[in-house]
Structure 1
């Protein structure tokens, strides 16, 4: 989840309100395993995360080729 949240934050942090930044911090403090299960639908999304920001993160698709290239590997 760090790759997803990190890229999301990099691309969107300048446009987030103070309230959304606080919410993002709470989301980032959640256990990765729980976040993965919520994002994949394996676990219901708790009420505290049923927010527009969390739904935007759920629908976000990071560019994993960029991550691979930054780590010195060739994108597929």
Structure 2
């Protein structure tokens, strides 16, 4: 998850508003074992983490946009 969240931060941190940044910080506080099933869709995302920011992280991860060449 460090690669996913770190890659997202590298690409977006400079353009995040306060609400997006707070949502992202909240994701950083979630354990990898809890977060991974949300990202893969194996488990539902709790309402407090089901944010636009989370959905952007997931979309970028699934599209392979977080992988550096």
Aligned to 1:33: 33
Mark the structure with the bigger radius of gyration. 1
Pairs aligned (count): 65
**How many Å separate the matches in 1 of 2:25 and 2:60?**
17
Q: TM-score, normalised by structure 1?
A: 0.78
TM-score of the aligned structures, taking structure 2 as reference length: 0.85
CA distance, structure 1, for counterparts of residue 43 and residue 34 of structure 2: 8
CA positional deviation for 1:20: 1.2
Aligned partners of 1:7 and 1:30: how far apart in 2?
17
**Structure 1: gaps of 5 or more residues:** 67-76
Q: Which runs of 4+ in 1 moved over 3 A?
A: none
Is 1:49 equivalent to 2:45 in the alignment? no
Q: Which runs of 5+ in 2 are unaligned?
A: none
Counterpart Cα distance in 1 of 2:53 and 2:25: 12
